[in-house]
Amino acid sequence: MKRAQEKGLLEVHVHHLRQWAVNEYGQVDDYQYGGGAGMVMMCEPLAKAIEALSADRQYDEIIYLTPDGETLNQKISNTLSLKQTLLLICGHYKGIDERIREHFVTREISIGDYVLSGGELAAAVLVDSIGRLLPGVLNDETSALFDSFQDNLLAPPVYTRPEDFRGWKVPAILMSGDHKKIEEWRHEQSLQRTQERRPDLPDQL
């Protein structure tokens, strides 16, 4: 990848999310609605970052690196290598507010059945798998990729403050305070998401 950049065949820019923090303390995450362990990356910093960067250049895809995305394979890398400009979002903690996924993200990608501390390594894998396919980067165009998943049920949607962002509202059940119903809702959402995105996973139970 260093040689690819030196040849002018690939550009990689890193943007620190705290540039768009919600306060002077650099806050970009908050507790999730409905309770539960783990922090969630907030709507506002991510939305501002995406909009600011999109004002400078047009992105062919806005990709979120997440365990419940489509599993990276050679076909995906081949397709993305034909794109001009990609924006990659690296998640942390419990993930990002679901509303960013719904309204900004155009594609979600996972690099395998395991959990990392953050999405930066996943982004690096994706950049490497795409970059080495660009004409002139390598003589050998073959790329080793990863697939599979972390468990048999995908995680349910997560939300954090604010409750109403641009009219995109947090599901009412998460505001109810009824933890039993919240857990039931989350389980139903996990089952639904797994059935829709990875129907093969329950067969492994």
- Domain-wise residue ranges, the chain: 2-151
Distance between the two ends of the chain, CA-based, in angstroms?
40
**What string of pLDDT tens digits covers the 205 residues of the chain?**
888 888 899 999 999 999 999 999 999 999 999 999 999 999 999 999 999 999 999 999 999 999 999 999 888 998 999 999 999 999 888 999 999 999 999 999 999 988 898 999 999 999 999 998 888 887 654 332 222 233 467 888 999 999 999 999 999 999 999 999 999 999 999 889 989 998 887 664 4
The fold of 2-151 is Alpha/beta knot (3.40.1280)
Q: Tell me which residue of 124, 180, 126, 188 sits closest to 153, measured CA to CA.
A: 188
Q: DSSP label at 20?
A: G
| Collapsed DSSP state (helix, strand, coil) of residue 154 | coil
Tell how strand 29-31 and strand 168-169 pair up: unpaired
Model confidence, pTM = 0.78
E strand spans, 61-143: 61-71, 86-90, 107-110
The position carrying tokens 């996972």 is 110
